[in-house]
Structure 1
Amino acid sequence: MAYKTRDGSDWTPVFLTKINGDTCIGCGRCYKVCSRDVMHLHGVDEDGEVLGKVTEDDDDDFDGELNRKIMIVDNSGACIGCGACSRVCPKDCQTHVAADLIDA
């Protein structure tokens, strides 16, 4: 499938498919530039188990189990493939796949 920009230039969207939890530092830069609500901050315990979604107004430390926070792609279908998140990530921990390589 061929994709075009408004001026007719060729363009291939690259969709965010995964964020590496081992290298993500949970800085939130990707979340701040994403207008599509594709990823969210989640708490992780010291064993690397995901504890759940962290909300902005939630001071819960998951009963003392919270060790760190990471971004998790939990709404991948909303990604439009703009790549803004990859441009701001300081750890290069995201996996993006070209639209023509993703099974619909």
Structure 2
Amino acid sequence: MSEVLTYRTFGEMPWTPQYVEEINKDVCLGCGRCVKLCGQECLGIESFEDDEGTERYVAKIVNKDQCIGCQACGRVCVRRAYSFKPKTA
């Protein structure tokens, strides 16, 4: 059984990073707040054509390996389009 990796903050409080796992395109508005906020350049914007033929913009994970597990993208998302997962040993 894998163990969830837990670390300590500067104040010695336990902290478990939650890494970006997925962005729900059906919920995402494509506002770009998360992209601007991410200091690790994990996110970008992509366009696609929906079922009605309208061009839509949504956030996209472009470099998952750069994620530090801060969840800032999920906190700034007004639609709660993000899902996260801890890393296991």
TM-score, normalising length: structure 2: 0.85
What do the CA deviations read for 1:15-49 (whole angstroms, capped 9, x no partner)? Answer: 0111011110100111111100111000111339x
**Gap runs ≥5 in structure 2:** none
Q: CA RMSD in A?
A: 1.9
Name the structure 2 match of 1:54.
none
Higher share of residues assigned strand:
2
What do the CA deviations read for 1:56-87 (whole angstroms, capped 9, x no partner)? Answer: xxxxxxxxx76110011121111000111111
Name the structure 1 match of 2:83.
95
Distance verdict in 2 for CA 1:12–1:70, change over 3 Å: same
TM-score, normalising length: structure 1: 0.73
Hey, which bits of structure 1, 4+ residues long, moved more than 2 A?
none
Aligned partners of 2:6 and 2:17 also within 8 Å: no
Where 1:86 maps in the other structure, the secondary structure is helix
What is the correspondence of 1:1-104 to structure 2 with a 5 Å cutoff?
Answer: 1-47=5-51, 67-100=55-88
